[in-house]
Structure 1
Amino acid sequence: MTAARVGALRTALATRVVVADGAMGTMLQAQEPTLEDFQQLEGCNEVLNVTRPDIVRSVHEAYFAVGVDCVETNTFGANHAAMAEYDIAGRVYELSEAGARIAREVADEFTAREGRQRWVLGSMGPGTKLPTLGHIGYGTIRDGLQANAEGLLAGGADALLVETTQDLLQTKAAVLGARRALDALGLDVPLLVSMAFETTGTMLLGSEIGAALTALEPLGIDLIGLNCSTGPAEMGEHLRHLARNARIPLLCMPNAGLPVLTNDGAYFPLAPDQLADAQETFVREYGLSLVGGCCGTTP
């Protein structure tokens, strides 16, 4: 990582709207990786960072090709809780570093080719267990996400994105794990937090937007916002509260609407222009610094 590149990202976030990518998992699955590609760990997308970097690389290339400023690493599940379900909790750092390295290589290629800086956001997912409900210990989550963050930073991530958080205790553990990683490596990169709010208007465990902001802003994060769970229509009130009360910039990466269930499975109803219009409105009304997409979005 270079200080100049990270500084340029901080400047961009402070002065314009930075555009991130969209969904990762569905793009990977569309290329039909085999059970062998997954090392017999079906559905463990992070393993593809090691076995099929070509597939992961192709997703990043597809997003950069349509002009995004930054991509997220394929490390959403590279945490202790999710990896332990596959019995590979010891591979968190390895898979995180590999995922960041692939994204970094592609970003640098596009930067060199087009003369425009491209960045890598290190994805730190929520895991599959909620500490507030006693599913997992706080220290276990924090230390696993520290390993996740250290791998991401070693691989060349320009920022750390604690995303899709549903439990404020888990979110705090992730932020502190990320901070410990930065301190251990002597680095300083932007630390972003993105929460998932349900259609009920709260996070999964009932926290309201005001409580979330009050709990997280004092931890010294650089951006706060929302992703996943819903489409943009359900995010407006939360963003309005953040715009009025947050002292830090905002981000938003909605799904392409709420999923519609059919006989052929679920699909997300918002067309690209509809999602773009919604994000444009959010930028105008709430002053977002970073926008992107989540489930159901594509290049």
Structure 2
Amino acid sequence: MEVPLPGLPERVTIYEVGPRDGLQNEKAVVPVEVKAEFVARLAGAGLRTIETTSFVHPKWVPQLADAEDLLAALPPSGGAPRPVLVPNERGLDRALANGVTEIAIFGSATETFARRNLNRTVDESIAMFEPVVARARAEGLWVRAYVSMVCGDPWEGDVPIEQVVSVSSRLMDLGCSQLSLGDTIGVGTPGQVTALIEAHVAAGIGTDRLAVHFHDTYGQALANTLAALRAGVTTVDASAGGLGGCPYAESATGNLATEDLVWMLNGLGIDTGVDLAKLAATSQWMAGRLGRPSPSRVVQALAPP
């Protein structure tokens, strides 16, 4: 039943991360043909923005070593955004050579994760991103910045809000168009999420430039999403079937499942443009290719008997 609540947006943009963030942790390499069909099925279900892959060195994320092959295998997007993750200038060179028009960089709010994920301090990582963003903008690319560990870090514990905002501001000052706040290990709760967003707005990063990226480690992803929507955010990251984690943070379990998000938004009367039945069927299909059931509760509920 559709029952709207006051104070929520009429429409939410879902930023689908399944093909990149969802698959990057898979130990068995998924064939490029399966990845291409996954992206095509997601688009067919109505998801417009789909983060497809990453131009990271294959040594670090072997699952995404086929980035060029995957992009070559995809049909034209018809203008729909197909961002790719770009860690450095070499990655940007590859993105430009393959006609990519939207990229994302991936920063950290904490020093420990910056070293583990990028082998750099926070300052060094921002210095690395500076020419990437400048060149990308000069080439007319849209640039997103991720900031990870915004609610907590497995090595450093609670992360002060002012520390997150400081890193966020430095990333946005490089010239990025959008900032995705990532609760990488899923420890955040709604009050913390609300405070984070309010602090970013107070620092001059409005909700029109913010997105949220929640993991469901403690079962809080949907509650945190609702808090973010109440605070004015209208872009939500999610992964079809709840796939994914983070290869450099073992406590980071699966992403918020896109189906679970769409079910909640449908019930609130919020438009997403997504066909839930087609999306759930896509995740069931991918679960079969991966050899295990989807962790998404909605996918499980809608699965044929």
TM-score, reference length from structure 2 = 0.51
Please identify which structure carries the higher helix content. Answer: 1
**1:177–1:227 distance in 2 versus 1, CA, 3 Å:** closer
Alpha-carbon shift at residue 213 of structure 1 (Å) = 0.9
1:237-263 deviations in whole A, cap 9, x for unaligned? 1122122223x4332324633779xxx
Alpha-carbon shift at residue 178 of structure 1 (Å) = 3.6
**1:132–1:212 distance in 2 versus 1, CA, 3 Å:** farther
1:101-128 deviations in whole A, cap 9, x for unaligned? 156x26xxxxxxxxxxxx62x212135x
Superposition pairs for residues 30-45 of structure 1, below 5 Å? 30=30, 42-43=59-60
Aligned to 1:256: 241
1:196 to 183, 194, 197: 183
**1:170–1:64 distance in 2 versus 1, CA, 3 Å:** farther
Whether the 8 Å CA contact 2:185–2:217 is kept in 1: the answer is: no
Distance in 2, Cα, partners of 1:16 & 1:269 = 21
Alpha-carbon shift at residue 234 of structure 1 (Å) = 3.4
Q: CA RMSD of the aligned region, Å?
A: 5.1
Aligned to 1:176: 170
Distance in 2, Cα, partners of 1:231 & 1:286 = 27
1:8-58 deviations in whole A, cap 9, x for unaligned? xxxxxx9774664533263795359xxxxx98x722569x8xxx7xx3134
1:141-162 deviations in whole A, cap 9, x for unaligned? 4323323423443554223232
Distance in 2, Cα, partners of 1:56 & 1:191 = 23
Distance in 2, Cα, partners of 1:211 & 1:152 = 32
**1:269–1:208 distance in 2 versus 1, CA, 3 Å:** closer
Q: Structure 2: any 5+ residue segments left out of the alignment?
A: 1-9, 33-55, 151-158, 246-252, 288-305
- Percent of pairs with identical residues: 9
Match of 1:146, SS state, is: helix
Whether the 8 Å CA contact 1:125–1:162 is kept in 2: the answer is: yes
Superposition pairs for residues 69-218 of structure 1, below 5 Å? 69-75=80-86, 78=87, 92-95=88-91, 97-102=92-97, 105=99, 120=102, 122-127=103-108, 130-131=110-111, 138-154=122-138, 156-166=140-150, 169=163, 172-179=166-173, 181-182=174-175, 190-196=177-183, 198-202=185-189, 208-218=192-202
Match of 2:85, SS state, is: coil
**Alignment: residue pair count:** 221
**1:170–1:60 distance in 2 versus 1, CA, 3 Å:** farther
Alpha-carbon shift at residue 209 of structure 1 (Å) = 0.8
Match of 2:107, SS state, is: coil
Alpha-carbon shift at residue 290 of structure 1 (Å) = 10
TM-score, reference length from structure 1 = 0.52
Query: Higher relative contact order by CA 8 Å / sep ≥ 6: 1 or 2?
Result: 2
Q: Structure 1: any 5+ residue segments left out of the alignment?
A: 1-13, 33-37, 79-91, 107-118, 183-188, 261-267
Whether the 8 Å CA contact 1:225–1:250 is kept in 2: the answer is: yes
Match of 1:70, SS state, is: coil
Superposition pairs for residues 221-236 of structure 1, below 5 Å? 221=206, 222-227=208-213, 229-230=215-216, 234-236=220-222
**1:42–1:157 distance in 2 versus 1, CA, 3 Å:** same
Whether the 8 Å CA contact 1:160–1:191 is kept in 2: the answer is: yes
